[in-house]
Homo-oligomer: A and B are copies of this chain.
């Protein structure tokens, strides 16, 4: 599976997005990450594996703890991907688009 699909699939789960939100406040262990959720520690461990394979987190080693750290690069990628479509939602982009079109057609007209 391609990288982008892995990232989108990882983000499709609310629990995993909540884990990322928590990691935005700093590193955390598996137990700390699992604490807010009404699911087993093993389930959280699986979620972390999915996030890790998507490149959204990395895991270190501190004695018997495995501190998790947020990796934002894939988020930059999906943001950039979505930005491809900005012209379909951004009015100002439309006006910029018009402006660019003017620059292109204007001089051509003057060449006549």
Asked if A8 is an interface residue, CB under 8 A from chain B, the answer is yes
Q: A75-B88, A83-B79, A88-B75 are in contact. Are A12 and B14 (CB under 8 A)?
A: no
A7 CB to closest chain B CB, in angstroms? 8
A72 contacts across to B, CB distance below 8 A: 85-86, 88-89
How many chain copies?
Answer: 2
A20 contacts across to B, CB distance below 8 A: 85
The complex places the Cα of A79 from the Cα of B83 at a distance, in Å, of 7
- Verify B85–A82 contact, CB threshold 8 A: no
The contact of A14 among B2, B75, B86, by CB within 8 Å, is: B2
The contact of A8 among B11, B24, B86, B88, by CB within 8 Å, is: B11
